[in-house]
Homo-oligomer: A and B are copies of this chain.
Amino acid sequence: MARRLDGKRVVVTQASTFMGPAIWEVFSEEGAILVADDRDLTQVDAAQNLIDEAGHVDVLVANLAATLPWSSVTDTTDELWSEMFDVMVHPLHRLVRAAMPQMIERRKGKIIVMGSISARRGMPDRSAYSAARGAQLAYVQAVGVEVAPHNVQVNALAQGFVENPSYFSPDYIETPEFKERLKSVPAGRLATAREDALFVLFLASDESDFFVGQVFPFAGGWAT
C-alpha cells in the first residue's frame, strides 16, 4: 500500500519545537521528504529565504509558537504583546506569501497552520497570546477562501491540551492547578503529540482536498 505522503516535499518550521518533532516522525513514516527548518523567522527575509532554499514545496506546515505567557491584561506590556505577533503572526504571512505562487502555478499545494484553541474560547491571563492566535485563524479563513479556486488548500488546527514540553512541563502536569484544568476537558487527558500529528497528516494528504479555509478545534472537547 502506498504511504500517504509518498514523495511529497514538506516544509516544517520551528522543527525542533512545539509540534515539530511529532510531525517530523509521522510524516517521515508516511514517505514525506522533509525540510525541517529551525531558523529564526522573526527576521524579515527569513521566510522567503527558507522557501527559496526549499525549492519545490508541496506542503507547508506553519508551526509557529511563542513562549506561552500568563499575564493579566493590565500587566501585558507592549514588549510581550509585540513578541506574540512577531513570532506567530507576521512570519505566517511571509511564509504563505513565499510559498503560494508555486502552489497556485501548479494548481496543487497544502498549507497547514498549527494554531491554538485559545483563539476560539477565552481563557484568563492570555490576552496577548490569544489575540495573536486569533490573527492566525482569521488569516487562514480568508486565504483559504481566496486560493481555493486555484486548488490550493489552507487550513488550521486550533489545538489545546496537547502534550508538549513547552506548554505542559512534567512539573506542571503534577500540580493541582493542572488537574483542576483537566476536569474541564471532556476527553480527560492530554493528547499525545503523535495524535495531533496524525490529524496534520490527514490535512497534508490528498485525502483532504475538499477542506478549505477551515479551522479544526483539536482540544479533547474543551471547545469544539
Q: Which residues of A are interface residues toward B (Cβ below 8 A)? A: 1, 3, 44, 72-74, 76, 78, 81-82, 85, 89-90, 93-94, 96-97, 100-101, 104, 118-139, 141-149, 184, 186-188, 191, 195-196, 198-199, 202, 207-218, 220-221, 224
Contact = CB atoms under 8 A, between A and B. Distances in A.
B210 A187 contact: yes
A128 B94 CA distance: 11
The list of the 4 closest CB pairs from A to B, nearest first, reads A134-B138, A122-B145, A122-B141, A130-B142
Given A148-B187, A148-B188, A135 B142 contact: no
Contacts of A130: 138-139, 141-142
Contacts of A210: 187, 191, 195-196, 218, 220
A82 to B, nearest CB: 8
Number of copies of this chain that the complex holds? 4
A40 B104 CA distance: 39
Nearest to A214: B224
A19 to B, nearest CB: 13
A101 B74 contact: yes
Contacts of A216: 216
Contact of A135 (B135, B147, B218): B135
Contacts of A90: 78, 81-82
Nearest to A212: B221
A170 B126 CA distance: 36
Nearest to A30: B1
A121 B141 contact: yes
A134 B120 CA distance: 10
Contacts of A81: 90, 93
A97 B76 contact: yes
A73 B224 contact: no
Contacts of A137: 134, 138
Nearest to A85: B85
